[in-house]
Amino acid sequence: MRILDTQVISECVYRLARRAGVTLTDSCRLALMKARDTEEGAARFALDAVLQNEEVARREQMPVCQDTGMAVVLIELGQEVSLRGKLLSDAVDEGVKRAYEEGLFRKSICDPLTRANTGDNTPAHLHVDIVTGDRVKITFLPKGFGSENMSRLSMLTPAEGREGILNAIVEAVRLAGSRPCPPVVVGVGIGGSFDSCTLLAKKALTRELSSSHPRADVAAIEEEALARINGLGIGAQGFGGRVTALKVLCEIAPTHIAGLPVAVNMQCHCVRCEKEVL
Amino acid sequence: MRTLTLPLSERDVLSLHAGDTALLSGTIYTARDCAHKRIFELLDADMVPPFPLKGAFIYYAGPCPAPAGKACGSCGPTTSARMNPYAPRLLSLGLGGIIGKGEMSEEVRRALVKNKAVYFAAIGGAGAIYGNAIRKSELVAFPELLSEAVYRLEVENFPLVVAMDCYGNSVYKK
């Protein structure tokens, strides 16, 4: 049994959050550069600004986007690890709080009814999976809400099948239009239940944009959905163009014989995601 | 690329067409969801809004805190569509225009035409560039709303695209 003080997790969350707020992932930067080269007019103007912004943010350690997001923290906890110290969720929140304060990130979390701001961007949205081994993998995804607001869940029937899945994905992007800051990254959950399906979609967003799903039939859905989405012509910021999405990322899980849930979690072009294994 | 200074003259507004790019300088006011709600409560109670609406530009934005030596932290636009219920009335009260991102409603389009105003799109996800283009930031109202409060910003060369012009045209696909 490996003993780990949750203080170590708190410090890791802090590091990841600080880095994530001011940096796009490498695969996102490359995808944006490629998109810029295919566009013209206002869409090109927008992508030029986005790429220039990324450089400024990295150099000056300023948030890439003022929406430094809801702190989504995904932890894969090896079952041979025994945690000591503070409650895990408190340790995570402590890391978030310190990162958002010291990083001069915007605090964007509020009570849903009174809209009173919690003042420190906590609580984080923490999800823990117990895995084999004695390691702890932490993924930090600051999730902006311009795109989160455009996310959807469709409870399809088995009869709707593959075509239904493709339609649900493309329709979500079409309805979102210019609002989620395209070119978007589309996280898709296929299967599971009403709630686990949406978590699959969120986890899909933590994959590299250069990756493909290891299952050929799922990778084919990713590619076909992307091609159809880019046929919509929405383009960067909705200004019209060839690149409406940078990538479609799907994750799947077994579902019930009566159902086919499909969740679409929209991510803007500012993909910020940092990972570390302890 | 056009260079524009606020306040815009009627001639400026008439010369702008959807899809044009521009660098805008001058004074603007931030307001997003909560601040709009509060401004409407004041208007409904026949009280004065926190800044004169006539000719003013509202920036749908909530900035990050300012680092030492800078007027403002990252400060890109938020999604304008959430302010669809508010924009037409403010435009009818003389608001000069809006800066935000993404499509707005048919009612907003009509209000822009009727009141000869313009809606500029800032580039979402370019917050650092906009933050660095802010020379001065001053809290105007609702400090308890933190980043959602109303701030008066002096901006220099904000890169913008004319999203909806005073002729009813829009840069966004129908």
The number of distinct structural domains making up chain B is: 1
Helices assigned H by DSSP within B45-102: 87-92
Q: Does residue B170 lie in a domain region?
A: no
Beta strand A136-143 with A70-78 is antiparallel
Q: Cβ–Cβ contacts within 10 Å for residue A276, how many?
A: 14
Q: Does residue B10 lie in a domain region?
A: yes
Q: What is the DSSP letter of A87?
A: -
Considering only CB atoms, which chain B residues are within 8 Å of A270? 125
Residue with tokens 């090896």: A78
- Of chain A, the percentage scoring pLDDT greater than 70 comes to 100
Q: What digits encode the pLDDT tens for the residues A168-220?
A: 999 999 999 999 999 999 999 999 999 999 999 999 999 999 999 999 999 99
Region B57-70 average pLDDT:
96
Q: What digits encode the pLDDT tens for the residues A236-261?
A: 999 999 999 999 999 999 999 999 99
> CA B113, CA B168: separation in Å to the nearest integer?
6
> CA A190, CA A252: separation in Å to the nearest integer?
5
Q: Cβ–Cβ contacts within 10 Å for residue B138, how many?
A: 12
> CA B79, CA B60: separation in Å to the nearest integer?
7
> CA A218, CA A248: separation in Å to the nearest integer?
11
Q: Cβ–Cβ contacts within 10 Å for residue A195, how many?
A: 10
Check A239 against B74: CB less than 8 A apart.
no
Check B125 against A107: CB less than 8 A apart.
no
Region A131-158 average pLDDT:
98
Region B15-37 average pLDDT:
97
Q: Does residue B126 lie in a domain region?
A: yes
DSSP reduced 3-state for A207: coil
Q: Does residue B172 lie in a domain region?
A: no
Average pLDDT taken over every residue of chain A: 97
Q: Does residue B16 lie in a domain region?
A: yes
Region B11-22 average pLDDT:
97
Nearest to A62 by CA among A94, A27, A22: A22
Check A42 against B171: CB less than 8 A apart.
yes
Please say whether the beta carbons of B94 and B55 come within 8 A: yes
Nearest to B60 by CA among B144, B120, B134, B143: B120
Nearest to A270 by CA among A141, A156, A173: A141
Helix H or strand E segment including A248: strand A245-253
**pLDDT of B174 higher than 70:** no
By the 10 Å C-beta count (0-12 exposed, 13-18 middle, 19+ buried), A40 is classed as exposed
**pLDDT of B173 higher than 80:** no
> CA A170, CA A20: separation in Å to the nearest integer?
28
B84 in A contact zone (CB under 8 Å):
no
Q: What digits encode the pLDDT tens for the residues B74-119?
A: 999 999 999 999 999 999 999 999 999 999 999 999 999 999 999 9
Helices assigned H by DSSP within chain B: 10-15, 33-44, 87-92, 106-114, 127-132
A178 in B contact zone (CB under 8 Å):
yes
What CATH number does the domain containing B102 carry? Answer: 3.20.130.10
Nearest by CB to A46, which of B123, B148, B173?
A: B123
- Confidence class for position A110, pLDDT limits 50, 70, 90: very high
Region A19-31 average pLDDT:
97
A130 in B contact zone (CB under 8 Å):
no
Considering only CB atoms, which chain A residues are within 8 Å of B73? 62-63, 66, 104, 106
- Of chain B, the percentage scoring pLDDT greater than 70 comes to 99
> CA B110, CA B115: separation in Å to the nearest integer?
9
By the 10 Å C-beta count (0-12 exposed, 13-18 middle, 19+ buried), A102 is classed as exposed
Nearest by CB to B146, which of A65, A107, A239?
A: A107
By the 10 Å C-beta count (0-12 exposed, 13-18 middle, 19+ buried), A95 is classed as buried
Active-site residue among B36, B38, B101, B109?
B36
> CA A221, CA A164: separation in Å to the nearest integer?
11
Q: Does residue B143 lie in a domain region?
A: yes
B62 in A contact zone (CB under 8 Å):
yes
Nearest by CB to A270, which of B34, B102, B125?
A: B125
A242 in B contact zone (CB under 8 Å):
no
B34 in A contact zone (CB under 8 Å):
yes
Domain coordinates in residue numbering, chain A: 2-21+64-143, 146-271
**pLDDT of B10 higher than 90:** yes
The model carries a pTM of 0.95
Q: Does residue B173 lie in a domain region?
A: no
Region A122-150 average pLDDT:
98
Q: Is B36 part of the annotated catalytic residue set?
A: yes
**pLDDT of B144 higher than 80:** yes
Tell me the CA distances in angstroms from B8 to B24, B111, B117, B168, one per residue in order: 10, 17, 9, 18
Domain ranges, residue B123: 2-164
Please say whether the beta carbons of A261 and A140 come within 8 A: no
Check B125 against A268: CB less than 8 A apart.
yes
Q: How many residues does chain A have?
A: 278
Architecture of domain A146-271: 2-Layer Sandwich (3.30)
Pick among B74, B164, B170 to test the A interface (most A CBs inside 10 A)? B74
Q: Does residue B130 lie in a domain region?
A: yes
Region A74-94 average pLDDT:
98
